[in-house]
Amino acid sequence: MSIKNSCILGAGTLGSRVALQSSISGFHVRVYDVQQKSLDFSLNTMQKILHQLHKSGQISKGQDLDILSRIKFTLDPLEAVEDADFINESVTEDVDIKKKVWKQFGEIAPEKTIFTTNTSYMLASMFAEDSGRPERFCAFHFHDVFYSRVVDIMPHPTTDPALIPILEDLGRKLNQVPVILKKENPGYIFNTMLMALIGAAGKLLTGEVASIEDIDKSWMVNFHMPMGPFGILDSIGLDTAWHVTHKMPDRASVAFAALLKTYIDQGKLGEKSGEGFYQYPNPRYKAQDFVK
């Protein structure tokens, strides 16, 4: 099947990025949210990214207007799914909200529409049935679209296998590297590995083996990377990391979640709050002399 019209549910940061890339790739895009202020935020987010893409020479002057002209923002569900070949849902990470949204859109979407969710912390099987068409439903999970260009394709037990190559092709058209999961797995592929790394770093810290800075240096210098695990945690958000680790039963995770909580209780959420393991906007790990 040929995908021309894309519908993005949820105009937050990730939804806006997927919508923008969809238009850059030539699709007609409708962006839906329940609040006008979310749609305004979305347009603003896109304009900022387009400015960056123009500055870095990835799009030419004038192309931004063309790209934005293919995106329609709407509060009307019927307008949002009109003639949609594809839905990608990025609404709030709350299972009841997702169930409600999929029930609503399952009832009004055209028969041809492919249903996908961009959930990071849930599994599609938790709400695919609510859409009424679980066999047309698959997780299609982006990372940040422009810098980290991986899209996870993760079927749930009743996903029609014929969807996989269609989504693989769509992922490539959206300038992503598609990776396929053979079954549902919380955290997909990358987040599973990242959490293992972060958990080990947390254990080194809470076990008083080494300092935050020495743990980050070890990672950065050995792998020639711009950040270590604590810098990465600051950019993810300590609250988000706590959300994932505090449910894990092993002793190291319990100790690390407790440590994260002491930061969170002081309002230190990472880069977004101005302080986490490092202080922003000029964290130590970005200083010239950090890895000397």
SS3 sequence, 200-236? HHHHHHHCCCCCHHHHHHHHHHHHCCCCCHHHHHHHH
Cis peptide bond prior to 134, omega within 30° of 0 = no
Other CB atoms within 10 A of residue 109 CB: 24
Least distance to a copy of itself, CB of residue 52, Å: 17
User: Residue 28: beta bridge partners?
Assistant: 5
Q: How far apart are CA 116 and CA 218, in angstroms?
A: 39
Q: Which of residues 242-261 bind a copy of itself (CB under 8 A)?
A: none
Q: Please report how close the Cβ of residue 183 comes to a copy of itself at its closest, in angstroms.
A: 6
- In which element (H, E) is residue 179 found? strand 177-180
Query: Quick check: 79 binds a copy of itself (CB under 8 A)?
Result: no
Residue (85 or 216) nearer to a copy of itself, CB: 216
Residue list 159-198, contact with a copy of itself (CB under 8 A) = 172, 177, 179-183, 185, 188-190, 192-193, 195-197
Minimum distance from CB of 262 to a copy of itself (Å)?
A: 19
Cα four-point dihedral sign 158, 161, 167, 172: positive
Residue 287 as a binder of a copy of itself (CB under 8 A): the answer is no
Q: Identity (one letter) of the amino acid at 32?
A: Y
The site for a copy of itself, by CB under 8 A, has a size of 45
Q: Which residue has the tokens 């749609």?
A: 39
- Rounded to a whole number of angstroms, the minimum distance from the CB of residue 54 to a copy of itself is 22
Near a copy of itself in 125-144, by CB under 8 A = 143
Q: Per rule CB under 8 A, is residue 225 in the interface with a copy of itself?
A: yes
Question: What is the spatial distance between Cα 264 and Cα 35, in angstroms, rounded to a whole number?
Answer: 29
Q: Any contact of residue 217 with a copy of itself (CB under 8 A)?
A: yes
To the nearest 5 percent, what fractions of the chain are helix, strand and coil?
50, 15, 35
State the DSSP code for 113. P
Q: Pick from 75, 162, 209, 258: which binds a copy of itself (CB under 8 A)? A: 209
3-state secondary structure of 159: coil
Site string for a copy of itself, 7-36 (x = CB under 8 A): ------------------------------
Distance from the first to the final alpha carbon of the chain: 55
For the bound state, the minimum distance from the C-beta of residue 8 to a copy of itself, rounded and expressed in Å, comes to: 22
Is 123 a binder of a copy of itself (CB under 8 A)? no
Chain positions contacting a copy of itself, by CB under 8 A: 143, 147-150, 152, 172, 177, 179-183, 185, 188-190, 192-193, 195-197, 199-201, 203-204, 207-211, 214-215, 217-219, 221-225, 229, 291-292
